[in-house]
Chain A
Amino acid sequence: MSNTISLPEAFRQSAEEILARLLDNTQGAYGVVLATIDGHALLHAARTDLPADRIAAMTSSLVSLGETIAHEANQQKCRFVIVENSDGYVVTLRISSRLTLSSFAGNDTNLGMLLSATRSASEALGKAARQPSETAQ
């Protein structure tokens, strides 16, 4: 099943640079996945083998659960879903109504730095997606 979001070339190039920058500038980060809100992988960058398609679907479930739990708990606007494991972190956030960003790091990372870098990348991606020539929203 193919998704309807196309990545215009200018946005794709910008996004690839943004993802690469996140990996290069964040200690411990080894993967990042840009996906649609309903779990289709659009772009990814990784230092290891990362099953981007499966991860995109799983992080879609995570984001939807995070937002639902926040609502049930009478809280507003889920910002991050953070999975802390014995040897690393998975952080996921919604960029826009249709896009999510997930980053993966070992436990040699600083969680605060990882969250900050992921948020900065998501803001840059959101800005790039809103450029007049872009259709990815």
Chain B
Amino acid sequence: MSEIKLIFTGPAGAGKTTAIAAISEIPPVRTDVDATDDLLAVKEQTTAALDFGEITLDDGSKVRLYGTPGQSRFAHMWPILVQGGLGLVILLDNTRPSPVEDLAEYLDGFADFIAETGAVIGLTRADHPGGTTIDELHHYLEQRGEHHPVLTADVREEADVLMLLNVLLSLLETR
């Protein structure tokens, strides 16, 4: 048995807390505080430090799941949370003005970690009218010279979140 640490990141409201809650075998640890800024138009609370959950794989390995705060002023938590991590899930909210710009922010913010490990990208609310497409995200990645799996995901659904993790774990096994 081994322990694996994976990190979920992405903009506020993309579904990091929801994704971890959807699959965690333990009651997830949350550090939500009341929002007092423009985020209130989207949600009432924001993660100020981290989310934490756990799952057990078929081979008995424990996977520890950490969610980062989404708002950029909490970016001090990002390098703390990725220590010892083996991979990153970047969740993008397709209802936001520019998921491509959001993706850029997180690829830049976690560049060193991604270079050492790996990342998978999950597009949430993918059917939002006028939103970004998987092809557009792939095109942007190509422009950056990067190659990461991109999937659509409803992070309220356990199966979708597990799919993201399975793709990430498969990616890590081939590195």
Contacts and interface: CB of A to CB of B under 8 A. Distances in A.
A50 interface: no
Nearest to B77: A61
B34 A37 contact: yes
Interface in A7-25: none
A63 interface: yes
Given A38-B33, A54-B76, A97-B34, A61 B39 contact: no
Nearest to B32: A64
A61 B32 CA distance: 9
A1 B37 contact: yes
Main secondary structure of the interface of B (DSSP, over half): mixed
A35 to B, nearest CB: 10
Contacts of B151: none
Contacts, number: 74
B67 interface: no
A36 B34 CA distance: 9
B37 A60 contact: no
B29 interface: yes
Contact of A68 (B29, B36, B76): B29
- Residue in A3, A36, A40, A57 with the greatest tally of chain B CB atoms within 10 Å: A57
Nearest to B39: A1
A2 B38 contact: yes
Nearest to A94: B33
B40 A65 contact: no
A64 B33 contact: yes
A84 to B, nearest CB: 19
Given A39-B48, A39-B73, A57-B74, A65 B36 contact: no
A37 B39 contact: no
A2 B41 CA distance: 12
B86 interface: no
A63 B37 contact: no
Contacts of B48: 37-39, 60-61, 63-65
29 contacts: A1-B37, A2-B37, A2-B38, A3-B36, A3-B37, A4-B37, A36-B37, A37-B48, A38-B34, A38-B36, A38-B46, A38-B48, A39-B48, A39-B71, A39-B73, A40-B73, A54-B76, A58-B76, A60-B48, A61-B31, A61-B74, A61-B76, A64-B31, A64-B48, A65-B48, A65-B50, A72-B29, A98-B34, A98-B36
